[in-house]
Amino acid sequence: MKTKKDFFPLKESLVILLIFVVIAGLLLVQKNGRPYNVDQGKTTYLKGNVPSSNKVFKSLKKETLLLVDGKNESSREIQVEFEQILKDMKMGYQLIDVSTDKIPSFSTYQKVVVLLPHLEKVSSRVDDLMDWTHKGGQVLFGMTMSQDKYLAPIEQKLGIVTSGYTNTQVNSIFIDNEFMIGGNRDYVIDEAFDSARAITLSKDSKIHAWTGDEKKTPLIWEREYGKGKFVIDNFGLYNKAVRGLYAASYSLLTDVTAYPVINGSTYYLDDFPAPVPSGNADYITRDYNMTVSDFYTNIWWPDMLKLAEKYQIKYTGVVIENYENAVNGSTVPQTDLERFRYFGDSLLANGGEIGYHGYNHQPYNLKNTGESDHGYLSWDSTKAMKSSLKELIRFTDELFPGTPKSVYVPPSNILSREGRSMIVKQFPRIKSIASNYFPGEQAYVQEFEIADDGMIEQPRTTSGTILQGYETMAAFSEMNMHFVNNHFIHPDDALDKDRGAAHGWAYMFKHLERHVSWLEKTAPSMRHLTGSQLAGAVQRYAVLKVNQQKTAGELALDLDNFYDKAYLMVRINKGKPGKVSGGRLKQLTGNLYLLEATSSKISIKLIGDNK
């Protein structure tokens, strides 16, 4: 006869089985869909009267003198970059065109940046510049300079021992491990040319970067001169992808340099969720013997989720409702909702965010601008553009209720002035636009800033799965310039031969993970953010002003427009950091630190500094 006690093992087994089923169900929901709980955080966006980047910049004290030659093309090119670099670093400057303007007294400034390939037009002031530096001034020569009779007499003061009239090719730049984040390796230069002077330096010159070949031609170095210092950039590249190198060089000038950074890593999924993308399915059939739709469901998305889980990525997916070509304002609501709900719910359940891309994939250009070279159509009117965006908002709100959506990504990075104005004036829920950092044909090109109309600009810095050369340099540069990564991935990369599809998705994913892994190892302190969170981070960075006061043994920072939290890059050239109040300091590499400010007033004790 069975006793009551005999049934306990069975009951316990049933309870354990039930618990297992519940847990499995929850895990399935977590990976595949509802329920989800998206919390952008109460402090994502700043409220109230937030100043624009231009307004903040105009209020800065002009402590740097910037010398350019408006009649020299190369000088004009680097002028564009340096003006933005100093604006982003919140370093006020006075611009002087030596071809038309009189050079003021150097004693009015703390630093001088010389963006001249020749010294002929400043020949009468070279001795003054040397004397001022010897007494404690700091000078950055930002361009590769040509050998001439005005440069020769001062070369030894700059640390140059031997030089000539020939330049050497810069195929790659090797960065010293303690100079910049991501150092101890070289970075390939696409379309390399003879951009650096062939020179040798004195032993008391400190070299921070050199060519990656056997010549090891110095590209960035510093040399103390009396009580002052020279910093020389000799790599001769004047584009947006190397801004981080110039920012790092500039930070060498003073005993301590502190400037705001964004501190954010964001990954966008362009055209996601969206209808099944068109493209060449041959590679999918070749490698997986399945339809494109099944590939995205069973291969691509599971791989992307694994990547997110491994590296704590928060995807921001920007929705395309359909791929039809209507540009007259008439809209047909999407009825095939299953695909959108599946991928969208899964993205949200895994900590992601939904943004806007388009009702269709036609960029917001009006007909008076003509049909674009990209083969897109132009919209009939502003009213038609507004109607399409209204439908996209209705569609995403119906599919994903209760989830904040505030970021817009222009199709193919194309956005006209009229289209942008329509978004700003008619759709206040859209607070940020994510387009392109680098120039491109018809591209809406951005800086990391708050525009004068209040829109937060947060451009993509890299994209794709196979990153080489220029894109790797850009990623490295932006880690050091803004401490930011804003990477875009397109689902149809796997269908496009030009983006590497012929290699197969497995190869592409391997390279993508290699890049993500490198970023994580290089900058582990960088925060993982969604698109809206990155926009909020850009706001806090864009409004911050840094008042720096250094005394013997201490650095005092007074932050204007400080809200709740801010991040700064701090390079300590003299001494080492001790006790910190008002924030937390973390070493990034060498004498470069990341400061998390928790107060508007920060004090950093400096050990071994008597100045």
Provide the b/e sequence for 213-243 (b: ≥16 CB within 10 Å). Answer: eeeebbbbbbbebeebbbbbbbbbbbbbbbb
Whether 17 is in a domain gets the answer no
Cα 65 versus chain centre, distance? 27
d(CA 318, CA 316): 6
Strands 92-97 and 62-68: parallel
d(CA 100, CA 118): 16
Whether 18 is in a domain gets the answer no
Q: Under DSSP, is residue 442 helix (H, G, I), strand (E, B) or coil?
A: coil
Residues 486 and 431 in one domain: yes
Q: Does the predicted model carry a pTM greater than 0.75?
A: yes
Whether 412 is in a domain gets the answer yes
Whether 6 is in a domain gets the answer no
Residues 554 and 601 in one domain: yes
Whether 180 is in a domain gets the answer yes
Provide the b/e sequence for 18-36 (b: ≥16 CB within 10 Å). Answer: eeeeeeeeeeeeeeebeeb
**Last-in-domain residue among 500, 515, 538:** 538
Residues 519 and 569 in one domain: no
Residues 108 and 195 in one domain: yes
Whether 578 is in a domain gets the answer yes
In whole numbers, what is the pLDDT of the chain averaged over residues? 93
Residues 360 and 371 in one domain: yes
Taking residues 376-398, what's their average pLDDT?
A: 98
CATH for 531? 3.20.20.370
**What's the one-letter identity of residue 25?**
G
Contact of 202 with 161, CB cutoff 8 Å: yes
Residues 389 and 402 in one domain: yes
Q: By residue range, what is the domain housing residue 241?
A: 53-261
Residues 474 and 553 in one domain: no
Angle, alpha carbons 59-65-69 (nearest 5°)? 120
**Of residues 451 and 29, which shows the higher confidence score?**
451
Q: What is the pLDDT of residue 143?
A: 98
pLDDT digits (tens, 9 = 90+) for 410-457: 999 999 999 999 999 999 999 999 999 999 888 999 999 999 999 999
Residues 482 and 506 in one domain: yes
Place of tokens 């928790």: 598
Residues 108 and 177 in one domain: yes
Residues 108 and 257 in one domain: yes
pLDDT digits (tens, 9 = 90+) for 164-191: 899 999 999 999 999 999 999 999 999 9
pLDDT digits (tens, 9 = 90+) for 533-575: 999 999 999 999 999 999 989 999 999 999 999 999 999 999 9
Count structural domains, the chain.
Answer: 3
Residue 222 Cα distances to 204, 246, 554, 577, angstroms? 9, 13, 24, 22
Whether 230 is in a domain gets the answer yes
Take residue 407 and report the two structure tokens written for it.
């970021």
- Alpha-carbon torsion (531, 532, 536, 538), positive or negative: positive
CATH for 60? 3.40.50.880
Cα radius of gyration (the chain): 27
pLDDT digits (tens, 9 = 90+) for 288-331: 999 999 999 999 999 999 999 999 999 999 999 999 999 999 99
**Last-in-domain residue among 538, 566, 586:** 538
pLDDT digits (tens, 9 = 90+) for 481-520: 999 999 999 999 999 999 999 999 999 999 999 999 999 9
pLDDT digits (tens, 9 = 90+) for 50-100: 999 999 999 999 999 999 999 999 999 999 999 999 999 999 999 999 999
The pLDDT of residue 17 is above 50: no
d(CA 224, CA 228): 6
d(CA 286, CA 149): 65
pLDDT digits (tens, 9 = 90+) for 210-232: 999 999 999 999 999 999 999 99
Whether 12 is in a domain gets the answer no
First to last CA, the chain: 93
**What's the one-letter identity of residue 246?**
Y
Q: What is the pLDDT of residue 222?
A: 99
**Secondary element (H or E) of residue 64:** strand 62-68
Residues 246 and 303 in one domain: no
Residues 273 and 252 in one domain: no
Q: What is the pLDDT of residue 164?
A: 87
**Last-in-domain residue among 504, 538, 572:** 538
The pLDDT of residue 1 is above 50: no
Is residue 39 very low, low, confident or very high in pLDDT (cuts 50, 70, 90)? low
What φ, ψ does residue 309 adopt, rounded to 5°?
-65, -40
- Alpha-carbon torsion (57, 59, 65, 71), positive or negative: positive
